[in-house]
Amino acid sequence: DGTVRIWNIENGEQEGTSMEHRDVMGFVVTKDGKRILSCGRDMVLRVWDVETHQSIAEWAGHAGSIHCIAMSPDDQLVASGDSKGMIVIRGMNLREDGRIKHVIEIGRRSNSICFSPDGTKLASGHRDAMIRVFDVENGDLILGPIEGHEASVQSVVWSLDGSRLFTASLDRSIRFWDSETGQAIGGPLTGHDFFTRSISLSPDGTQLASASIDGTVRFWATDSGDPIGEPLQWREHLQAITFSPCSEFVAFGEHGGKISIWRV
């Protein structure tokens, strides 16, 4: 609906006013909780003050709809990927107005991007079913394109130690990769009956949660790839998922515009 909203998880009530950004595609929150950055089809990044809910900066630089956004572990850089195959890495210094560090031209739509735990690499998942890894310092491609998925890669996540990549695809599978060699670790993890849209790594790094258009959330052990427990069954197409910082809950967003929180 073109808004970014903050919710109280204790009572489910919205806090403050909605932050308007046309056709929002993604957002990130700085670690200090003071800023939100949102991206959307209007080809700009907007920076919001969490306390006042006011826009404090607007950054251009993309030629197409911005589909994904990620913050570096130290909050010093933000990366964004668009529909035209461009990834932009820029500084978070508001006084320098989001000065661009690198523009990486790929030519394939970016669906998901994620900084490595040490902040030196950026992994990306693309519409061409490939995964790529770039050097953050110079913007060079250092790994890939990694082949293995049979359809668009929707979500990319690093392991806590940076040794592996986890990916989810419209081919319904989840895969594990060696982040140094790009080699697959084991076979595809299957179980979802339809597109897998989003994955999230638990804070302790031992589990992945996956959300699918089939209306289920599934859990996987990151050491073995084995499924954990029974899937959560839901009635709507699921678009996004994340663990809570304490690992006690998962929150997921539905295609119909609702957010649900489940104890796991």
b/e for 62-84, b at 16 or more Cβ within 10 A?
beebbbbbbbbeebebbbbbbbb
CATH number of the domain at 72, please: 2.130.10.10
Least confident among 125-129, 203-207, 211-215: 211-215
Q: pLDDT for 63-114, tens place per residue?
A: 999 999 999 999 999 999 999 999 999 998 877 778 999 999 998 899 999 9
In a domain, 176, yes or no: yes
In a domain, 79, yes or no: yes
Same domain, 8 and 102: yes
Q: pLDDT for 180-189, tens place per residue?
A: 999 999 998 8
Tell me the percentage of the chain whose pLDDT exceeds 90: 65
Q: What are phi and psi of 96, to 5 degrees?
A: -100, 10
pLDDT of 201 higher than 80: yes
Looking at every residue in the chain, the average pLDDT score rounds to 90
Q: Count of domains in the chain?
A: 2
The segment with the largest mean pLDDT, out of 13-27, 67-81, 248-262, is 67-81
Domain that holds residue 24: 1-107
- Name the burial class of residue 225, with classes exposed (0-12), middle (13-18) and buried (19+) by CB atoms within 10 angstroms of its CB: middle
In a domain, 144, yes or no: no
